Copies of this chain bind each other. A is one copy, B any other.
């Protein structure tokens, strides 16, 4: 089965990538963007979803500064 994991900086944690993108948008002519947050997309083909949560905690995210969510997509 295919699993999709989304990892993002926790609320209040510095997000320099997102800030850089937000700052670049007006110069490219894109207005009206209030916030930009950048995280990671992880897509895995796994035999079972049983261990996905443990993988997220132990390898795919840093729980101190990041939050994650995951779902089976197919």
Contact = CB atoms under 8 A, between A and B. Distances in A.
Interface of A: 6-8, 18, 21, 24-25, 28, 30-48, 51, 54-55, 58-60
A34 B47 contact: yes
Given A18-B42, A32-B48, 10 more contacts: A8-B43, A25-B59, A30-B54, A30-B55, A31-B47, A33-B47, A34-B44, A34-B45, A35-B44, A38-B40
Nearest to A7: B41
Nearest to A34: B45
A60 B25 CA distance: 10
B42 A37 contact: yes
A1 to B, nearest CB: 10
